[in-house]
Amino acid sequence: MDENRSKRRRHDQQLFYPLTNVELNIEKISKAAQNFNGPSPDDKIINAQKAAFEDKLGNLQLSESSEAATKKPVKVTKPTKKLNLEHELSTNKTYSKPHKSFVVIGHVDAGKSTLMGRMLLDFGIVDIKTVNKLVKEAERAGKGSFALAWVMDQTAEERAHGVTVDICATDFETEKTRFTAIDAPGHKDFVPQMIGGVSQADFALLVVDSITGEFEAGFAMDGQTKEHTILAKNLGIERVCVAVNKMDKENWDELRFNSIKSQLLEYLTSDEVGFAADQIDFVPISGLTGENVVKRNSSLEALSWYKGPTLGEYLETVKLSSDINADSISQLLAEDFYLSVHDAIKDKGEIKVSGKISSGVIQVGETIVSAPNDVALQVNGLKSAGKPVDFAVRGELVQMSFKASQIENDTIEVFRIGDLVSKVGSPAKSVKKLTIALHLFNMTKPLLVGSPFVLFRNNCQAPARITKLIEVTSGKKKKKLLHLVSKQTAIVEVEVEGNALPVTKYSDNKILGRVVIRREGVTIGAGTVVDF
């Protein structure tokens, strides 16, 4: 055993000793160690690059003053034609006839699209041949009663489901008035589209189903009637006409009409909504048969108790603050111009942008600025109701065209739905933070600082959150503010995520200075922009 172990431990003298017993040069060893103590060639290159980068970076400056110095000044252009706008507005036949835009709102299946189809038929805008063709198509699809609704609901999806999905705007003209009628969806899943429709209107036509049980489902049982009226008020709608529909199914019962009227009047004038009683009117109708819509049937004894106007007469005679007359022309010409973008397309070398003019006047040839992209363009053409015009005014839905060559890369992306078009020097700003006077509605849970919601300004929407509770102006005031609850009013600081939000202060513009907030598909509050 010991002999084997000694064999295993025996060193090969020819290999071991020559390798381990060599006399080493101490000077060479220390020199090699010194070489590894210093930076490597790679380290020297990296350090040189870093020093050069830091030296140049230190000379760079990002400031508002440097950005302003490099930004080209906007060239302000004058109108192509010299027009006396005051004279034009006073004498032009187009403007001597008032223009009114209204949005049709209400709970799903209240008969909104059918009412619009009936109105267009009885005003002579849609001919009877078109309606007869729609009747045959609807009967083949097993939806005979939807024929008039198909005048407005033109997509296959809307016709298949019998539900309006997106807004549909129609321009028509009677002997006394020019109208823009906007049919808005009633289903809760399409409230954002409904908001887009309300933002284009001056007043609202609220359609309710008078059939026993159906009215209660749309109003008393948390249907869309309540949310639609709240949104209408907080988006700047100044009047509401309640069309009590399907009264023929209730045999034109006066007691039923008065019951619906009293319930809605109480709600619409409550603190939750805020309309005044003189801003609300009621008209009994049947959209399907056409009774009391445009035509009055004097032989209908069941409706003899009603002495008011037909719905068509009401629409033609209702007075609005946006009406242009001799007293308001000077005020109109002094207003800042604002247009909220509803659509943008590129066609034959032109960018065409459509939207509603919230205030002021615009002429062909003038320079506009689009926010938040801050792009300045010269207006190449204007259309109102599909007809070319030299100028357009507050309340009109217009299409503005610009030469695509004015825009870098000829791209349409400089315009998005909700962008704000104004003239050079307007008080509108594109902001990421703004201060809002916010009023909250009924909520199932508190609104916490930092919790996300969707902020709507007119037809512009953006994800946002409250970053600071500045002051609670109603209810019990606490020293430490952490959240807000139902019915509270507060001054809050809101931060917008993503792109900046083009907005004005409420004091500058009462339409564009309003906001609505929605969370988890429910409208929970509304407010006005105080500062930014």
- Asked whether residue 4 is domain-assigned, the answer is no
CB burial of residue 330 (10 Å; 0-12, 13-18, 19+):
exposed
Instruction: Look up the domain containing 452 and give its range.
Output: 429-531
Quick check: 186 pLDDT over 70? no
Does 445 share its domain with 509? yes
Whichever domain contains 259, its CATH number is 3.40.50.300
Does 207 share its domain with 282? yes
How far is CA 469 from its chain centroid? 25
Mean pLDDT of 451-467: 92
Report CA-CA distances (Å) from 454 to 311, 355, 523.
Answer: 36, 22, 9
Does 166 share its domain with 205? yes
Last-in-domain residue among 362, 397, 423: 423
How many structural domains compose the chain?
3
CB burial of residue 391 (10 Å; 0-12, 13-18, 19+):
buried
Percent of the chain with pLDDT over 90: 34
pLDDT digits (tens, 9 = 90+) for 270-324: 888 889 999 999 999 998 889 999 998 888 999 999 999 999 999 999 988 777 7
Quick check: 131 pLDDT over 80? no
Quick check: 33 pLDDT over 70? no
Does 304 share its domain with 352? no
Does 312 share its domain with 361? no
> Helix or strand or coil: residue 118?
helix
Quick check: 158 pLDDT over 70? no
Mean pLDDT of 130-156: 59
pLDDT band at 214 (very low <50, low <70, confident <90, very high): confident
- Asked whether residue 125 is domain-assigned, the answer is yes
Asked if 190 contacts 165 with a C-beta cutoff of 8 angstroms, the reply is: yes
- Asked whether residue 72 is domain-assigned, the answer is no
Does 299 share its domain with 335? no
Quick check: 225 pLDDT over 50? yes
Quick check: 506 pLDDT over 70? yes
Does 111 share its domain with 164? yes
pLDDT digits (tens, 9 = 90+) for 289-299: 899 999 988 88
* Amino acid identity, position 302: A
pLDDT digits (tens, 9 = 90+) for 388-445: 999 999 888 899 999 988 887 767 788 888 899 999 988 899 999 999 999 998 888 9
Whole-prediction pTM: 0.74
Strand partners, 364: none
Q: Which residue has the higher pLDDT, 68 or 79?
A: 79
Mean pLDDT of 226-242: 87
Does 134 share its domain with 268? yes
